[in-house]
Structure 1
Amino acid sequence: MGLEDLGKKASEFAKENADKVDEALKSEQAEQISDKILDGVAGFADKVTGGKHSDKIAEARDGLDGKIGNE
C-alpha cells in the first residue's frame, strides 16, 4: 500500500465518519491535547524567530485553536 492509497483510505474514512470525526475534534480531550501541541509549536516558532513575529504566531495559534476542541 503506497502513500497515495493510504491518503485515499483516510479521506474515505473521514467522509464516511464525518459526524464522529467532528464530535471527536470538539471534545474536551481534543481541546486539552491541541492546546498543549499548539502552545509547544507556537513557543518553538517564537524562539526560532527570536520573538520577531510573536503577534503573528499568536494569531495563527489562536486561529487553529478555534477550530479544534470545544473552546
Structure 2
Amino acid sequence: MDFINKAKDFIDKHDEQVDQALDKAGDFAKTRFAGHDQQIDQAVDKAQEFTGQGDTTRPAAPRTTPPPPPA
C-alpha cells in the first residue's frame, strides 16, 4: 500500500506532467486505432479527471450529448 500512496502523491504533485503524458498516450493510441478518436479522447479525459482537476493541457471538449429534458 505504501507504493500506491507514493504514486498518488507523485500524481498530485505533478498533475500537469501526468496530463501531458496522458495526451501523448492518447495521440499514440489514435495512430494505432484509427477511427476511434472520440472514444480515445473520452478515455484520456476520464483518466485526467482521476489525476487531479481534469485536463490542464487543452481546452474542454464541447458537449456531444444533449442535456436531459426538464422534469
TM-score class normalised by the smaller sequence: 0.5 to 0.7
Q: Which has more helix, going by share of residues?
A: 1
Specify the alignment match of 2:32 in structure 1: 48
Q: Tell me the CA shift for residue 69 of structure 1.
A: 2.8
**Which segments of 5 or more consecutive residues in structure 2 lack a partner in the other structure?**
55-71
The 1-side partners of 2:39 and 2:27 are apart by 12
Structure 1 residues 21-32: aligned runs within 5 Å? 22-27=8-13, 30-32=14-16
Q: Tell me the CA shift for residue 35 of structure 1.
A: 1.3
User: How many pairs were matched up?
Assistant: 54
Following superposition, which runs of at least 4 residues in structure 1 exceed 6 angstroms of deviation? none
Q: Which has the larger radius of gyration?
A: 1
**TM-score, structure 1 length as denominator?**
0.59
**Which segments of 5 or more consecutive residues in structure 1 lack a partner in the other structure?**
1-10
RMSD: 2.2
Question: Per the alignment, in what secondary structure is the counterpart of residue 26 of structure 1?
Answer: helix
Aligned residues of 1:34 and 1:69 also touching (Cα < 8 A): no
Percent of aligned positions with the same letter in both sequences? 20
Output one character per residue of 1:21-58: Cα deviation in whole Å (capped at 9) or x when no partner.
6554333xx211111110110000001112x1101100
